[in-house]
Amino acid sequence: MPVLLKYLFFVFVSICFFCSCRQSSVDESASSRLIYNQVGYLSHGPKLALVTHDVDEFVLLNAEGKEVFRATPEAPLYWEASGDTVRKVDFSEWQQAGSYTVQLSGFSKTYEINIGPNPYHEVSKAAIKSFYLNRTSIALEETFAGKWARAAGHPDTVVYIHASAADDKRPEGTVISSPLGWYDAGDYNKYVVNSGITTYTMLRALKDYPLYYAQLDLNIPESGSGIPDILSETLFNLRWVLSMQDPNDGGVYHKLTTKQFEDFVMPNEAVNDRFVVAKGTAATLNYAALTASAFRVLSGYDAQLPGLSDSCLSRAEMAWDWAVRHPDLTYQQPEDIATGAYGDDQLDDEWFWAAAELYLATGNDRYLSVIKEKYHRPLVPTWNQVYALGFFSLIDFYDELPAELTNLSIKEDFLALASELVAVSDSSPYGISIQEFAWGSSSQVANEGMVKLFAHQLTGDAAYLNSAISDLDYVLGRNATGFCFVTGFGHQRVMHIHHRPSGADGIEDPVPGFLVGGPNLAVLTDCGTDVERSPFPAKSYVDLECSYSTNEIAINWNAPLVYLVGGIDALMTR
C-alpha cells in the first residue's frame, strides 16, 4: 500500500475511533428509553424506573417470555436539570425474584432487570474493598486484590516538613514518618480535612449497623482478626491521620503531598519527595472531631486494640487546645505546592462538630458553650460542611443531653432536613432530591441518602427509607446519563476513571467499587475543547480518564456510598 494511502487509512480509522468514543461518552444514554437501576431491585422494596415521554406501556416478561406484569407510566414530567421529559413507572407491586425482560410497547429494544432479596450485597462489599485497593505504603497481594495486585507505593517513612509547616522544634526539611492511609482520590496525596468526614462516615456505618458489618467478610489481610473488616479497613486510615499531629504543640498538618501531582504511573513508580504542609484550624478541628468520635467507637474494642481509644481522646484534646489558640488559621496554598488545596474559610461547622464530639467523649462543660454558639441547622454533609456529623453524634445520646442542648431543637432540625429532602424527591421527575449538581454530585446523592437512612433509623418512618433506596437507584443507573456510577457494576459501565492506578496498571477494567464524581458543569474543558459535554448539569458527564471533574474518584465520595448501600442491604435483606 502506498505511503499516502496508509496515511489516509490511518487518519480515517483514527477519526472513526475518536467519533465512537465521543458517541459513547455523550450520546449512548440518550438512545435508551428505559432508565433504571442496572444492578437490581429489592423483591420487597420500592421499584421505580423511568421511561421517555413517548412510551405508553411497560411490560415485564419472565425467563420463559411470559408476561407477568404490565403498567402504564405516569404523566410526563420535564426536568430542567436534564433537559428531558420522563415518565415514572412504579412496579413495586411485583415482588417475585428473578431476571426479567422489559418491553416498552411500540419499541423493539428490550432491557434486562433483576429483582432479588439482596441485590446490593456485592456492591456493599466492593464499596468498602475499594478503600483496601487504594491503600498506600503496603503491597496489595493477589490473594486479596486479585488482578489489581500491585507493588507497595509511598511508604511515607521519609516525609519532609515543608516551609509552611516549619517551627523551631521542627524546622524546614525535618524528616518525619507518616505511613499508611488511603490515597485521597485519583492522585497519590493524603489530606486530613477529607479524611475527617470519610473516616467518620465509615465509623458511623459500623455504629449504625453493627450486626451487619460484624458478618461482612471483605477478604482483606485483617479478615478473621475478631474485629469487623470495615473497622480494620478504617483503622488503616485512622492510624495515618493520627500521625499528622505535631506532638510538640497538638496542631495538625493540612496534608501530606508531593509539590506537583504525579504522572499517571503506578504508585511504586511515583517517587518524588513528599511533604507535610501547613498546620491549620480546619485540619486540626477535623482531627479533634474524628479522634474524639473514634474514642467512643474504639472503646468497645479495648481488648483487641489496647490503648488506642485513650490515645485518640488525648490527641483530640491536644488538637482542641491548639485550635483554641489558633481559632481562624485558614489554609493558604503555598506558591510551590500545586496539589489539592481543600481550602475552607468557614469554620463554624468544624467548631460545632469538634465541640459536639469532645463533649460526648468527656462530658466537659467547656465544650457546651461552643456547641450553642456555633449551632446551625444541619445541611447535607460534604468535606467542607460538617454540621450534620455533629448532629448524628448528638442524636445518638439525645436522651442523655442536658436541656440546654435539647432546647436547640437538634432532633427536630435534623428531621426537618431529611423531610425536606424526601419532599423534593417525591416531586422530582427523576425521583431524587439533589437540586444542585456541584463537583462530586454523585456523592451529594449518596450523602442525602445517608441523611434519610439515619432519619429512618430514628423514626421508623418508611418514607425516609424508600427515598434513600431511590437515591441508590440513581447511583446505580437511574440517572440522566444512563451510566451506573459504581465501577465494576451495571450494563452501561464506567470504564475510564480518573485514577492513576487504574490508568497505569494495563488492566482494562478499572479498580471496582469506586463511586465516580458524576455530572456537573464546574469544569467543561478538562478533556480539551474537542470533547463534547451536555449543557444540562444532570447530563454533563463523560467516561474519559481526562475528565477529572466528572470521572475522578475520592474517598469522601465512597464513604457515603458505603453507608447508603450497606444500610439498605442491612435493613432490607431477607
Q: Does 545 qualify as catalytic in the annotation?
A: no
Which helix (H) or strand (E) element contains residue 315? helix 308-325
Query: Cα–Cα distance between 91 and 107 in angstroms, integer?
Result: 19
Q: Does 396 qualify as catalytic in the annotation?
A: no
Question: Choosing from 122, 184, 187, 505, which is the catalytic residue?
Answer: 187
Q: How many CA atoms lie within 13 A of 212 on its CB side?
A: 22
Contact 244, 276 (CB under 8 A): yes
Query: Cα–Cα distance between 63 and 375 in angstroms, integer?
Result: 56
Please identify which residue in the block is written with the cell numbers 416531586.
427
Cell of residue 197, nine digits = 468526614
Q: Does 498 qualify as catalytic in the annotation?
A: yes
Residue 104 in 3-state DSSP? strand
Which helix (H) or strand (E) element contains residue 313? helix 308-325
Question: Choosing from 526, 545, 552, 569, which is the catalytic residue?
Answer: 552
Q: Would you mind telling me the total number of residues written for the chain in this entry? A: 574
Question: Choosing from 254, 456, 496, 498, which is the catalytic residue?
Answer: 498
**CB burial readout 200-214, b (16+ within 10 A) else e:** bbbbbbbbbbbebbe
Question: Choosing from 317, 543, 545, 569, which is the catalytic residue?
Answer: 543
Using only C-alpha atoms, what is the Rg of the chain?
Answer: 24
Contact 286, 385 (CB under 8 A): no
From its phi and psi, is residue 83 left (phi > 0), alpha (psi between -120 and 50) or beta?
left
Q: What are phi and psi of 13, to 5 degrees?
A: -65, -40
Q: Does 569 qualify as catalytic in the annotation?
A: no
Q: Give the DSSP letter string of 56-102.
A: --EEEE-TTS-EEEEE-----EEETTTTEEEEEEE-TT----EEEEE
The terminus-to-terminus CA distance of the chain in angstroms comes to 65
Catalytic residue ranges: 187, 498, 543, 552
